[in-house]
Amino acid sequence: MQVSNLLANKNQDVATISQERTVADALLLLKERSIGALVVTGPTPPLVGIFSERDAVRALATSGAEALETTVAELMSTDVQTCDETTTVTELMGLMTERRIRHLPVVHEGQLVGMISIGDVVKARFDELEHDKKDLLDYVSAR
């Protein structure tokens, strides 16, 4: 199964935020959308970083409420791993495990086309296992 299959089953609207916005703005958007990360946009397409709940927690633990007034650019992760629509679920699992990340922006021909979360990967893998289980039970029952 590939990323294109995962994107076909979910809303492809990617939540983004400008790097000049405040952390408070980012947290409000995360809450409103019930998501864990935002793609950060800037002068260079398709993205300049990613801002996650993890970034916010670390900043709040270090700086307290002052962190809310800092810009997203000051706290975002800039070493962003991306994938494309041909990346497989197995490759996603490897990337996410190796890099300890929970969100991967999907880029196609320099354009942001989606976001894959660890939840998407787990659901896809679970669905594959359920399908395999059904096939095996059908096979055994047919004997």
Does the structural domain 3-141 have CATH classification 3.10.580.10? yes
Please check the confidence at residue 113 and state whether its pLDDT lies above 90. Answer: yes
Which tokens is 40 given?
A: 């950060």
Q: Render pLDDT for 2-43 as a digit per residue (tens, 0 to 9).
A: 999 999 988 778 999 999 999 999 999 999 999 999 999 999
What pLDDT is recorded for position 78? 95
Query: One-letter amino acid identity for 126?
Result: F
- Within 13 A of 13's CA, how many CA atoms are on the CB side? 3
Domain ranges of the chain: 3-141
What pLDDT is recorded for position 143? 65
Which tokens is 141 given?
A: 């029952």
Average pLDDT over residues 69-75: 97
* b/e 8-23 (16+ beta carbons within 10 angstroms → b): eeeeeebbbbebebbb
Average pLDDT over residues 115-139: 88
pLDDT band, residue 138 (cuts 50/70/90): confident
Please check the confidence at residue 50 and state whether its pLDDT lies above 90. Answer: yes
Which tokens is 31 given?
A: 């809450």
What pLDDT is recorded for position 136? 83
Which tokens is 46 given?
A: 């398709």
